[in-house]
Structure 1
Amino acid sequence: MTYSFTIRTGFAALALAFCVAMVAPAAAQDAPACKTVNMSDPGWIDITATNAVAGVLLDALGYTQNVRMLSVMIGYETLKNRNTDVFLGNWMPAQQKFIEDLDRINAIEVLGTNLVGTQFTLAVPDYVAKAGVKDFRDIAANADKFGKRIYGIEPGAPANITIEKMIAAPSSALKGWTLVESSEQGMLAQVRRAERSGQWIVFLAWSPHPMNEKFALTYLSGGDAYFGPNHGGGSVRTLARTGWAAQCPNAARLFRNLKFDMPMENALIGAILDAHKNPKAAAITWMNAHPDALGPWLAGVTTFDGKPGLPAVKAAVGL
């Protein structure tokens, strides 16, 4: 009798342990080296905003985000050299040529598309468009009014390289033109000065970005051969260095889950630029106003030490 009771008790204990194991969250599978996630920011405010979102989530999950300000060219080199783990700013098709070498040597993995519906091409103020400049072919016809200058962003940016190719093309009507390189904020300051004085200017523009609300601007047609159709319409992808996702499956799951949209990015960018909020503080404020976004982002994601991810993030952002 005692022997039978002991067996039954043993089986009951095993069954209970099995049930607990089935409902308990799986232990994090990420290697110790995964605790720090190295990322890059080319100095673009939209990537600063999305990096901030990722940073808030990583912090709450027990990871450490390390972001370095690197040009696009250097940033891709650090992915190849395994010094950067994740990049949230692979604008496509604008950066297609830039990543072909990395694809050729299998240096990067695409974790997913984090934003759709982008635009990326040349633009002019509305008053210039109303004067007749609505297409790329109209630029050269007004060379004197533009001072034969096209304003771009930081040196080495893929868009600047595209503009340089457009100027240097054998059949180009832009021979003798100059690409003025500075930075995102430097270029926009020049646009602001031109708008105030009514001067003519042609510059690089994209969406999402508050410039589309701050300035009355017109995207130019006719740039399909250089920026793609639909005013450079495209998407933004999340890249990882090859091997990182296999080594860090939990963190990789988070980045695969991260999807953004235009209203969200415009709100975050506006808070950072116009309200001068710290990027992570702006991200936390947005999450508090949109708590439903957290569930899809954290589906199947745990903390670094294996606890449920969603409650940890909610607690960290004050929900």
Structure 2
Amino acid sequence: MKKTLTILLITAIFLGSFSMFTLAQDSDDVIKLADSNWPGLRGKNAIVKYILDNVGYKVERTTATDPMLRQGIIQGDMDIYLGTWMPSLKESRMKNQDKQHLVTKNMHTGSLGMAVPKYVAEQGVDSLADLHKYADKFDKKLYVGPSGWVYDGMLRKAQEDNTYNLKDWELVSSSPAALWSQLDKAINEKKWIVWAGWKPHWMNTVYDMVYLDDPKTIFGNKYSWVETITRKGFPEEHPEVTTFLKNFIITSETQSLLSYEIGQNEKDVDKFAEKWVKDNIYKVDSFLSLVEAPNGEPAIDILRKNIGMDK
């Protein structure tokens, strides 16, 4: 009998130790956010990181280009990506839907397309179909932002089909900072330029610009939205974080604010995230509705306590 009790006691201690070891492993898990140089995405990631950090999770951001980040989700190297612009990336997402998990739309009512300064539009350019008529004035260049981004692929396909007679035009790829520099220079000198534009973004506030019609719909539906995706298996491993991500939905106005303050005003992204959370704590309450912290307590209570905003 004593031998049996001893065996049971040892087994219980072993199982208890194993459970504690497993919990320690879980608490040490680092959640990896896919980040980029886009100020709107950087802002969203900073807010998500600030909230999760103060709820009790360990979070880190990895910065890369959009194609690399999406590939990181597919390969399981990244956990969360808040920057899937749709419907422009629909084909890619559908192709890899068994390798990733769609959580929600985190921003609605966006749009994308090619844009020109208002002074160019006033000269008779209001559609992509008009570009070839003024090819020399545009120096046959389309400024499309980072290589591999959605515009790059769509315009290359349009060139293959010679849509809008763009076959011989040069696609000028660059970092976002370089794109704004090129744009500033051209507008200051009243030169003709056509570039990749989208809403929400601070450019729509800073520049007097006009979006060109796309009658052949090379960009698909001009209205867009942004989706949150995770790697396969993440929702099962982190159900509480996934509930938070389902709730994390912002307006296009908030997205524009993030983009403007971080991209144009060059505010520190983490300090801005902290201020935004504290200024919008009741909105954050809704983000954390029915979400438990790693210690089992309501996540919003832990967050409020850790940031000095106890009810």
Output the TM-score relative to the length of structure 2. Answer: 0.87
The alignment status of 1:41 with 2:38, answered yes or no, reads no
What is the CA distance between 1:127 and its match in structure 2?
0.7
CA offsets, 1:52-93, max 9 Å, x none?
110111111111222111212211221121111110011100
Residue pairs, 1:101-250, within 5 angstroms: 101-103=95-97, 106-222=98-214, 225-229=217-221, 232-250=222-240
2:27 touches 2:57 (CA, 8 Å); kept in 1? no
**CA RMSD across the alignment:** 1.8
* Structure-1 residue corresponding to 2:18: none
* Structure-2 residue corresponding to 1:25: none
Give, as a single letter, the amino acid of the residue that structure 2 aligns with 1:124: V
CA distance in 1, matches of 2:75, 2:49: 22
The alignment status of 1:95 with 2:89, answered yes or no, reads yes
3-state SS of paired residue (1:201):
coil
Question: Identity over the aligned pairs, expressed in percent?
Answer: 24
CA distance in 2, matches of 1:226, 1:174: 12
The alignment status of 1:277 with 2:277, answered yes or no, reads no
Comparing 76-85 with 280-289, greater Cα deviation is found at 280-289
* Structure-1 residue corresponding to 2:66: 72
CA offsets, 1:248-269, max 9 Å, x none?
1011111111001122122222
* Structure-2 residue corresponding to 1:257: 247
Distance 1:60 1:224, change over 3 A: farther
CA distance in 2, matches of 1:288, 1:138: 48
CA offsets, 1:24-60, max 9 Å, x none?
xxxxx99717731112123211111111110111111
Distance 1:213 1:172, change over 3 A: closer
* Structure-1 residue corresponding to 2:3: none
What is the CA distance between 1:291 and its match in structure 2?
2.2
Which of 47, 66, 88 is the aligned partner of 1:53?
Answer: 47
Give, as a single letter, the amino acid of the residue that structure 2 aligns with 1:96: K
CA distance in 1, matches of 2:305, 2:192: 51
Q: Which runs of 5+ in 1 are unaligned?
A: 1-28
Which of 300, 305, 308 is the aligned partner of 1:310?
Answer: 300
Output the TM-score relative to the length of structure 1. Answer: 0.85
3-state SS of paired residue (1:32):
helix
Ranges of 4+ aligned residues in structure 1 off by more than 6 Å: none
2:39 touches 2:258 (CA, 8 Å); kept in 1? no
CA distance in 1, matches of 2:225, 2:24: 29
3-state SS of paired residue (2:166):
coil
1:98 touches 1:158 (CA, 8 Å); kept in 2? no
CA distance in 2, matches of 1:172, 1:211: 25
Q: Which runs of 5+ in 2 are unaligned?
A: 1-22
CA distance in 2, matches of 1:77, 1:262: 26
2:28 touches 2:58 (CA, 8 Å); kept in 1? no
Which of 286, 289, 311 is the aligned partner of 1:299?
Answer: 289
